Amino acid sequence: MITRNTIDKVYETARVEEVIGDFVVLKKSGTNFKGLSPFSQERTPSFMVSPVKQIWKDFSSGKGGNVVAFLMEHEHFTYPEAIRFLAKRYNIEIEETEQSDKEKEKANTRESLYLVNQFAQNSYADDLWESSEGMAIGLSYFRERGFTDESIRFFSLGYAAEQIDHFYKKSSKAGYSENFLLETGLVIKNERGFIDRFRGRAIFPIRSMAGRVQGFGGRILSATSKTAKYLNSPESDVYHKSMVLYGMFEAKKTIAKEDLCYLVEGYTDVIQMYQQGVENVVSSSGTALTSEQIRLIRRLTSNIVVLFDGDAAGLRAAIRGIDLILEQGMNVKVCSFPIGEDPDSFAKSHTLKEIKEYLKNKAKDFIQFKTDLLLQESDNDPIKKANTVRELIQSIAKIPDPIKQEIYIKQCAKTMEVSEAVLFNAFAQEKSKRNTTVRNINSKVSEGETIIRKIPSKGEHLNPILSLERQIIGILLQYGSQEAAFDEIFISSDEKGNLKEESKIIQSKVHEKIFLDLQQDEVELIQPEFQNLYKQLIERFQLEGDVKPEKIIQQEDPQLGQILTDILFADEAYQLHDWEKKNIIVKDRKSAVGQLVSETILTFRRHLIDQKIQSLMDSAKKPDASEQEKLFLEDVIQYQNLKKLLSRRLNRVI
């Protein structure tokens, strides 16, 4: 585990504008930099980087955070991978905490397996380009498939020599352990000795999301061989075929940018499509699609188009995969190619424009696709048609989003010429089988009325207190160490005992004013993230007297980092619109910090009083309410008077 000291060094050394500048063209804009969003297609810059605060914000997608968050979003690194990337870039030595012998052994084993796989990838590539056998057999095969030399190198394709132990001898000579060669499956041991698993095959390295070689796929090139056409690495500590997708490392940026992923079956489908310009494409490598693979795509996009051959087997495979995709809450379409064509052959024989037009026009919504396919098989048989409807309902029931469910049921009713009422009842039965919560179903409805009605959940409406809590965090972050003037009300009594209010202007630090006011009212923030941030900020103010945004933004939790970025960039978003050039002056909040703090705290108190009043009223209305509970109405009156006082003060805050 990376030590806190190393992480702190990385944050202190790494410059957000330098790192992001490697991926995005940035131009100076005042104290900030701006550029085109790397996460969406746009012509007007909405991406901002603040060197002062060491944060970035993409106003087109809403994403933002620190330098680590950018690498996690853009390069799809894990947190440790991002830290390691930055440490390497800035030549920072990585310190790791002491591990147990078992943990060290496991970490060393995993790293050794990755190193062996990387050596194998380099070895297979060398044999492809430098050996006479590799060039004559392997390179000729790839070129016959229509792959350019650039594509062959880009995907690090290789060739494994026919000799039974060629790779084993090569790796042993290089000093690699037999145990790791066996564990990765690159070498097999039997009574004849050590044998290369992939001998005589074209090699397709399979990479992780971070680009490390996890395993290999190999295609036999000998026409007389009786072994399997394709062979994959066996399961190991670094390779689980149900959790990887071929081409994901190469496609991840384009998938995220275009918010769409094309899913194909084979390695050559990916390479040919990518070569033609469709770069957001991955493959399940000929294995059945799994939930883990779908979740891998979901990290980048919620939209999948499944591309399959036009034959019956391919179409049936598409149907099997659809339900898994739906269960993950993703939007899925299916596009099949003409009979005799697959993504590889189609891409090879068409231009990029033709491919994109075909995918756009032929991709069908899953209801339309499944309906068309199943109706063809039913051949107007009423019984088969009924089974088709049931299959469609079963698929719709897997969708987690109730709104989508309702839309699809209506679409299905129209397509299959079945009444909505019947389908909604069938849907309810299917849901009950799954032991999941079903929304209210009405058996009798008027025409045009929705049968499924959502039961509103408690607290569904936006709680204004959460917005005020967010504002409190924002004030502490931006103005916490500043001194401001506050209009304080002091209550005293005159000679006759009458209460009177006296207004005094006092000077105080903003963080002290907020802390004392909330402590006086014994108030805690509701939202856990805001509670956490409030505690961090107050502790830093009390210990250090100030808070540097670039320090507090160093949050491992991406949700906290996102909240902080949104707050810190709140005052700077208008710079993107160049309001000054249009003679529109945006008021600077710094000029009225005292008023902002007072209004926020008073409004916060007023909302809390509203909640207390409602709670007391609800208690008094209960049928079994005791006499003591009914006396709470006196408290309600007192709270109402306090609320009026706060309202008066809000109208005259300076």
Question: DSSP labels for 400-420?
Answer: S-HHHHHHHHHHHHHHHT--H
Higher local confidence (pLDDT), 187 or 367: 187
Give 271's pLDDT tier (boundaries 50, 70, 90).
very high
DSSP state, residue 437: -
Of 50-64, 309-323, 503-517, the range with the lowest mean pLDDT is 309-323
CA nearest 20: which of 1, 48, 41?
48
Average pLDDT, the chain: 79
Asked if pLDDT for residue 641 goes beyond 80, the answer is no
The crossing angle, in degrees rounded to 10, of helices 593-621 and 632-650 is 160
Structure tokens at 630: 């009914």
Can you tell me the mean pLDDT for 207-216?
Answer: 89
CA distance 34 to 576: 8
| Choice among 262-266, 306-310, 451-455 with the minimum mean pLDDT | 451-455
User: What percent of the chain has a predicted confidence (pLDDT) above 70?
Assistant: 77
| C-alpha separations of 146 from 236, 250, 271, 349, 435 in Å | 33, 19, 10, 10, 52
- Residue 112, token pair as written in the block: 């050794």
CATH 3.90.980.10 domain span(s) along the chain:
100-239
Joined together, the tokens standing for residue 549 give 């945004």
| Range among 408-422, 460-474, 539-553 with highest mean pLDDT value | 408-422
Q: Is 293 helix (H, G, I), strand (E, B) or coil?
A: helix
Report d(CA 159, CA 178) in Å as an integer.
Answer: 21
Q: Is the pLDDT of residue 46 over 70?
A: yes
Confidence of residue 185 (pLDDT cuts 50, 70, 90): very high
Percent of the chain topping pLDDT 90: 24
Q: Which of 47-61, 68-82, 127-141, 401-415 has the highest mean pLDDT?
A: 127-141
23 vs 117: which has the higher pLDDT: 117
The C-alpha atoms of residue 573 and residue 566 are separated, in whole angstroms, by 10
Distances (CA, A) of 278 to 261, 262, 572: 10, 9, 37
- For residue 45, CA distances in Å to 334, 576, 580 come to 34, 7, 17
**Domain span(s) for CATH 3.90.580.10 in the chain:** 4-89
Average pLDDT over residues 299-317: 75
Contact 455, 440 (CB under 8 A): yes
Reported as a pLDDT band with limits 50, 70 and 90, residue 222 is: confident
CA nearest 187: which of 407, 566, 176?
176
**Could you report the per-residue pLDDT of 428-464, keeping only the tens digit for each?**
887 777 654 433 334 343 333 333 333 333 333 456 7
Identify the pLDDT of residue 408.
85
Contact by Cβ (8 Å): 9, 20: no
Rounded to whole angstroms, the Cα distance separating 95 from 6 reads: 6
- Measured CA to CA, the distance from residue 369 to residue 375 in angstroms comes to 10
pLDDT of residue 470 exceeding 90, the answer is no
Q: What pLDDT, on a 0 to 100 scale, did the predictor assign at position 350?
A: 92
| Contact predicate 533/563, CB 8 Å | yes
Cβ neighbourhood burial of 119 (10 Å; 0-12, 13-18, 19+): buried
Stretch among 463-477, 513-527, 528-542 having the lowest mean pLDDT: 513-527
Burial class (CB in 10 A: 0-12, 13-18, 19+), 313: exposed
For the segment 407-431, the average pLDDT, to the nearest whole number, is: 84
The stretch 168-182 carries a mean pLDDT of 92
- Given a contact cutoff of 8 angstroms between Cβ atoms, the answer to whether 61 and 562 are in contact is no
Q: Show the tokens assigned to 343.
A: 């993504």
Residues 6+ apart with CB under 8 A from 557: 529
Task: Return the residue matching tokens 């440790």.
Answer: 80
For the segment(s) 4-89, the CATH number from 1.20.1260.120, 3.90.580.10, 3.40.50.1220, 3.40.190.10 is 3.90.580.10
Q: How confident is the model at residue 200 (pLDDT cuts 50, 70, 90)?
A: very high
Please compute the mean of the pLDDT values over residues 406-423 and round it to a whole number. Answer: 85
CATH class of domain segment(s) 243-362: alpha beta
Band (313; pLDDT cuts 50, 70, 90)? low
> Please, what's the b/e burial string for 415-448 (b: 16 or more CB within 10 A of its CB; e: otherwise)?
bbebebeebbebbbebbeeeeeeeeebeeeeeee
Residue 269: pLDDT above 70?
yes
Tell me how many degrees the CA angle 42-47-51 measures, rounded to the nearest 5: 160
Query: d(Cα 251, Cα 76) in Å, to the nearest integer?
Result: 11
- Is the pLDDT confidence value at 312 over 80? no
pLDDT recorded at residue 616: 67
Q: Which pLDDT belongs to residue 510?
A: 80
The full DSSP string for 321-384 is HHHHHHHTT-EEEEEEPPTT--HHHHHHTS-HHHHHHHHHHH-EEHHHHHHHHHHHHHTT-HHH
Catalogue the E-assigned strands of 24-83: 27-29, 32-35, 47-50, 55-58, 64-65
DSSP state of 135: I
Q: Where in the chain is the domain with CATH 3.40.1360.10?
A: 243-362
The secondary element (H helix, E strand) that includes residue 160 is: strand 158-160
Helices within 434-557 (DSSP H only) = 464-479, 510-520, 528-544, 549-552
Residue 307 host element (H or E): strand 303-308
The 8-class DSSP code of residue 134 comes to I
> 386-405, pLDDT tens digit by residue?
888 888 888 888 888 888 88
- As a whole number of Å, the end-to-end CA separation of the chain is 52
What class does CATH assign to 100-239?
Answer: alpha beta
- The predicted-structure confidence for 550-593, as pLDDT tens digits, reads as follows 667 666 666 777 777 877 776 565 455 554 454 444 445 555 67
Task: Please compute the mean of the pLDDT values over residues 204-233 and round it to a whole number.
Answer: 87
pLDDT of the residue at 39: 80
Which range of 99-103, 220-224, 582-586 scores highest in mean pLDDT? It is: 220-224
* pLDDT over 70 (residue 127): yes
DSSP 581: G
Q: What's the rounded mean pLDDT across residues 75-104?
A: 81
